[in-house]
Amino acid sequence: MRTALATAALLLVSGCGATVAKDPSASDPVTVTNCGQQVTFDRVPSKVVTNDTGITEMMFALGLKDRMAGYVVNGLKTVDVQSSPWKADFESSKHLADKISKEVVQGANADLVFAGWNYGFSESTGFTPDALKELGIGTYLLTEACRNGVGKQRGIMPALDALYTDLRNLGKIFRVEAKAEELIKGYSEQIAAAGRLMEGKPRPKVFLYDSGQDQPFTSGKNAAPQDVISKAGGDNIFGDLNDSWTTVNWEAVVQRNPDVVLIVDYADGEANTPEEKQRFLEGYAPLANSPAVRGKRFFSLPYAALVEGPRNAASIEAFAKFLAGA
């Protein structure tokens, strides 16, 4: 196992910038199940606004750039976009704003907004599916961000199932089912091959560290890191939490004694780099005797690789290689 902080160069995945033939029955209504609700689309959306990197990359992977009015990505994620396998699609599409709002989507004349709870949708900002419905704008919610009925906890299925559900739903909505199945087949094969790298080896306990010094922000069982970690051959130390991205306390991290720390790389400034996060963890006295800190077992992946999206399979492969010492 490598002992130095490493940042993976994710592999390019199939579908980059693809042009996909549309089904001739594009004017027929279709119905999909989205976050437990039946949603009918009377026609193929043609002015979609996406929010966040992974969501936008899902549209690009399916070859649906021509169906987009533009995307919203925080300007601090510039490096995340620059590292994207769909960098050319980002550059040739319209960056509408750093933060999504009703004004932004109305200005783009959107007929569909693809976002999620805490991925743009929020009651505190008033930007919700119900608010957009009143404006005559349709919505599709990221399945990773579906609320599960316990307060505002999110996640209704395993992370990769969420990705495949969204790809199949989008394939149906935009009449590109064959492309969706092609992507899913490729991702499944890539993940299966990655999983074999750790066969027969002990499964390390992994702490996903997103951010936070007073309290750490991490992943429960319903966010993408759960499957990134488990399919790569490790065990998420907070995989028992029925939530997606969530805040815990340091006492729980120390008690669960991680063997490896997987760091989210936001690439958004010196104070929040993987190196800075590693230095903080190494200097946090209660973690000093953990195998992760003692062995300097730190690994980082870009933000877009650790939220639901088409980089997930490549991130599993990269992390599996790290764990296996390849």
Q: What's the CATH class of domain 200-324?
A: alpha beta
Same fold, 30-190 and 200-324: yes
Domains of the chain by residue range: 30-190, 200-324
Mean pLDDT within 168-176? 98
| pLDDT for position 25 | 64
Q: Model confidence over 196-218: pLDDT tens digits?
A: 999 999 999 999 999 999 999 99
Alpha-carbon distance values, 247 to 45, 48, 318 (Å): 36, 32, 26
| Neighbour tally for 325: CB within 10 Å | 11
Specify the DSSP element, H or E, that contains 299. Answer: strand 298-302
CATH topology classification for 30-190: Rossmann fold (3.40.50)
| pLDDT for position 4 | 40
User: Is residue 301 classed as helix, strand or coil in its secondary structure?
Assistant: strand
| pLDDT for position 77 | 64
When the pLDDT of each residue in the chain is averaged and rounded to a whole number, the result is: 91
User: pTM of the predicted model, to two decimals?
Assistant: 0.89
Q: Model confidence over 298-321: pLDDT tens digits?
A: 999 999 999 999 999 999 999 999
